[in-house]
A and B are shown apart, each in its own frame.
Chain A
Amino acid sequence: MDEVAGDYAFGIDAGSSILKIVVVGGDGGLASSTTARIGGDPTGVVGAGVKKLLRELGVKRKQATFGITGRNGRGVAKFAEYESELSCLAAGGAYLVPGVRTVVDTGSFSNKVVKVDSSGRVVEYAVNDVCSSGAGMFLELVCKSLDVSLDELGSLALEAGDPVPISSQCSIFAESEVIYLMNEGKGVPEIAAGVCQSIVGRIAPLVSKLRPEPDFLLAGGVAKNPAVRSMLSRELGAEFVDPGVDPQLVGAFGAAVLGKGAGGDPGTRVYGGGDWR
């Protein structure tokens, strides 16, 4: 397999609500990772996360390369080169799943679909970042109404009988609809299944628009929801390949792959692929 030029390659994905950092070691494997809530101070949270990992690995900043991406990633870490979210999804997807051609990413604020070529570059993409109805925030809000955790939602939905359809598209209206449905005596698992179906109904058309090809990778926080995963898989007639890591980390892997040295030295790059796991 290919070499990693620096000792350690840091990939930082400062998303709209969660910070993800991965460190790829000299052997191309995952040396360490961390996640944190971004809150109101992305610069502080990113700085603290990087410092924590440097200390943990006993590495000096000079020995590492840094790439950063994400909605909150611009201008928060001077030592890291900013890479676009789409490039990072493509590069990270190709690094983790060498045969990947379609990466579907559902974060808390947006849906992105990226078609990838054999060298991990973006061929085509589709993004929805104007409406939260297909994004993780939709699930988060509805979970509050249902009084279940985001992690529970998917497993509850898998146990459900017939899903209760959610008629509101808007997250705000769905929030109150769910309360109404509970008052009407509908079961929480059935509502949870309806909620998962609703978000799948918003993601699937975005994917289909690009005439996607396998291998498929589902990335982002919502990928951890097993019900959404299987419903989307059924809807698209596509199997998602397991990336072997937390799917929320795909973008951060891409940032690590594309990142440069502290001095912006273009010679220090991580080259992807291989069975590093």
Chain B
Amino acid sequence: MKFGGIDIGSLTGKAVVLEDDDVVGSAIIPVRRNPVLTSTLVYNEVLDGLGIEASDVAYCVGTGYGRERIPFVQKSLSEISCHGKGAHFLDPEVRTIVDVGGQDCKVICLDDDGDLLDFVMNEKCAAGTGRYLEIMADLLDLSLDQLGSVSLKAKTPVAMNSTCSIYAQAEVLQYIARKTRKEDIAAGISRAMAERVAGLVRKLAVAPEFTITGGVAKNAGVVRALEDILGVEFRPLSFDPQLVGALGAARFARESSPGESTRR
């Protein structure tokens, strides 16, 4: 039996299809004009890849910023629940999930059974979210992927004094004007980003084991800086960290499907 999970974020749309416990298809696309379009396109991409129709999927759950506007799902659930669900499914040892998405950052704490204990979220300020990295990568004329890899080559990372993305932009422009090495600026940016995320992590009584999800989890520079600041190691997941929310949604779909015996 097949189950779908759709995660419509601020910058990307993600879809996962499960065949019982196994992921059989997934896709990530940049957001389109509206969540209706984004969700339809990303879901169709997965369905086409599998050569199946929407009617072949027993149950589908939506999540993310745009979840209320996905036309074809049976149910929608919060990102917090879905990220918790997905991470617990991938690694039951995980108690703290740091999810850094395109326009927000969440820290989610789970109990031993994978149920939600507590969470904190920043969705008010671009600093400490993927948007911040995107702006900075643009200034340095690097792709988001390059920003991470370039920053790992730094010898003397620059200090960033500003929190605000706007002020940080001015600071980076000054470094560029002074012909500071790109890798040192990139590393300073990663560090500043990580400091901001760490501030959010410290607001909760967090417990090991830790993992990181969301698009920013793919940025090695930020991940390493965050491990360094927090003094922890993130457990690597056996799955694309950007798809964890969609995976969690698909797991919920499986549990919600009337044809399935509910199992935690």
- What's the minimum C-beta distance from A9 to chain B, rounded to whole angstroms? 30
Taking CB atoms, residues of chain A closer than 8 Å to B131 are 172-173
For residue B170, CB closer than 8 A to chain A, the reply is yes
For residue B173, CB closer than 8 A to chain A, the reply is yes
For residue A131, CB closer than 8 A to chain B, the reply is yes
Q: Which residues in chain A, 164-202, are within 8 Å of chain B measured between CB atoms? A: 168-173
- What's the minimum C-beta distance from B42 to chain A, rounded to whole angstroms? 20
Contact B126 A173 (CB under 8 A): yes
Taking CB atoms, residues of chain B closer than 8 Å to A131 are 125, 163-164
Q: Which residues in chain B, 163-191, are within 8 Å of chain A measured between CB atoms? A: 163-167, 170, 173-174, 177
Contact B163 A130 (CB under 8 A): yes
Taking CB atoms, residues of chain B closer than 8 Å to A40 are 173-174, 177
Taking CB atoms, residues of chain A closer than 8 Å to B132 are 172
For residue A141, CB closer than 8 A to chain B, the reply is yes
- What's the minimum C-beta distance from B199 to chain A, rounded to whole angstroms? 13
For residue A66, CB closer than 8 A to chain B, the reply is no
- What's the minimum C-beta distance from B170 to chain A, rounded to whole angstroms? 7
- Chain A 125-160 per-residue mask, 1 if CB under 8 angstroms from chain B, else 0: 000001110000110010000000000000000000
- Bound Cα distance A141, B166 (Å): 9
- Bound Cα distance A193, B112 (Å): 50
| A169: contacting residue among B124, B162, B174, CB under 8 A | B124
Contact A172 B126 (CB under 8 A): yes
Main secondary structure of the interface of B (DSSP, over half): helix
- Bound Cα distance A172, B134 (Å): 11
- What's the minimum C-beta distance from A43 to chain B, rounded to whole angstroms? 12
Taking CB atoms, residues of chain B closer than 8 Å to A132 are 164-167
For residue A109, CB closer than 8 A to chain B, the reply is yes
For residue A16, CB closer than 8 A to chain B, the reply is yes
- Chain B 108-127 per-residue mask, 1 if CB under 8 angstroms from chain A, else 0: 00000000000000001110
Contact B173 A173 (CB under 8 A): no
Residue from B132, B162, B173 with most neighbouring chain A CB atoms (10 Å) = B162
For residue B135, CB closer than 8 A to chain A, the reply is yes
- Bound Cα distance A260, B184 (Å): 40
Taking CB atoms, residues of chain B closer than 8 Å to A170 are 124-126, 165
| A172: contacting residue among B135, B170, B177, CB under 8 A | B135
- What's the minimum C-beta distance from B47 to chain A, rounded to whole angstroms? 29
For residue B103, CB closer than 8 A to chain A, the reply is yes
Taking CB atoms, residues of chain A closer than 8 Å to B167 are 109, 130, 132
Contact A172 B124 (CB under 8 A): no
Give the residue name and chain of the B residue nearest to A41 (CB).
B177
Give the residue name and chain of the A residue nearest to B177 (CB).
A40
Taking CB atoms, residues of chain B closer than 8 Å to A169 are 124-125
Taking CB atoms, residues of chain A closer than 8 Å to B173 are 40
- Bound Cα distance A193, B164 (Å): 24
Residue from A109, A141, A170 with most neighbouring chain B CB atoms (10 Å) = A170
- Bound Cα distance A168, B126 (Å): 10
- Chain A 101-145 per-residue mask, 1 if CB under 8 angstroms from chain B, else 0: 000000001000000000000000000001110000110010000
- Bound Cα distance A171, B135 (Å): 13
Contact A171 B166 (CB under 8 A): yes
Give the residue name and chain of the B residue nearest to A132 (CB).
B166
- What's the minimum C-beta distance from B144 to chain A, rounded to whole angstroms? 16
Using CB atoms and an 8 Å cutoff, list the residues of chain A in contact with chain B. Answer: 16, 40, 109, 130-132, 137-138, 141, 168-173
- Sample (8) of A-B pairs whose CB atoms are under 8 Å apart: A40-B173, A130-B163, A130-B167, A131-B164, A132-B164, A170-B126, A172-B135, A173-B131
Question: Which 9 interchain pairs have the tightest Cβ spacing?
Answer: A172-B126, A132-B166, A40-B177, A132-B164, A170-B125, A170-B126, A137-B166, A131-B164, A172-B165
Using CB atoms and an 8 Å cutoff, list the residues of chain B in contact with chain A. Answer: 103, 124-126, 131-132, 135, 162-167, 170, 173-174, 177
With A138-B166, A171-B126 already in contact, 7 other A-B pairs whose C-beta atoms are closer than 8 Å = A40-B173, A130-B164, A131-B125, A132-B164, A132-B167, A171-B164, A172-B126
